[in-house]
Amino acid sequence: DIDLSKDIVAEFKKSNEYQTYSKNHRLESKVYILTTGYWPPYTTIKCNLPSSLTEFQNVFQQFYLNKYQGRRLFWQHSLAQCTLKAVFPKGRKEIGVSLFQGLVLLAFNEAQSHTFNELVQNTGLEAAELKRTLQSLACGKVRLLVKEPQGRQVTETDSFQINSNFSSKAHKININ
């Protein structure tokens, strides 16, 4: 499965569809095509993807389904990972996060702070999944977000903002 997936992705990156897409976006991607019968089942978790990711999915899906007619493609967002490039007052960082953590962090490009309910709207994540995600960003070892009120539990009345005091000696930080 993995070797076949690498071949498909290599062919995709040579395709006209990808070349056209990559000219307009600064998004690097790696896709794994896995046969459902050989891997454990995963529950599909819905979320609101940024338009650049939605466009990438559409371009890849069009390429894949044209090549393999009669097959279906399911995106498992809960398995996705991202590397975000961030600028903090104390320096630039590359942050390895899950897709869900990435969606939360990207919301702070639009506003300085967000309530829990605003993040539910922005990310499209269910409350339980968003609570787990926010807990990892605001209550874990690496705290990229500050939660109000302070505490270890995330509730629906909490608000969040970027931790402007965040610092790390490492340039690359992995949260997920």
pLDDT of 68 higher than 80: yes
Helix (H) or strand (E) holding 127: helix 127-138
3-state secondary structure at position 112: coil
Q: What is residue 80's three-state secondary structure?
A: coil
Model pLDDT, residue 36: 79
Distance between CA atoms of residues 8 and 22, nearest Å: 17
The model scores a pTM over 0.85: yes
Each residue of 127-153: pLDDT tens digit?
999 999 999 999 999 999 999 999 999
Q: Does the structure show a pLDDT above 80 at 112?
A: yes
Tell me the sheet residues that pair with 159.
115, 148
Indicate the length of the chain as a whole number: 176
Q: What is the per-residue pLDDT for 91?
A: 85
Most confident range (mean pLDDT) of 2-6, 82-86, 120-124 is 120-124
- Minimal CA–CA distance to 118: which of 159, 155, 164? 159
Q: What is the pLDDT of residues 113-129, one digit of tens each?
A: 999 999 999 999 999 99
Q: What's the whole-number average pLDDT of the chain?
A: 91
Asked if residue 156 has pLDDT above 80, the reply is: yes
Mean pLDDT of 9-16: 91
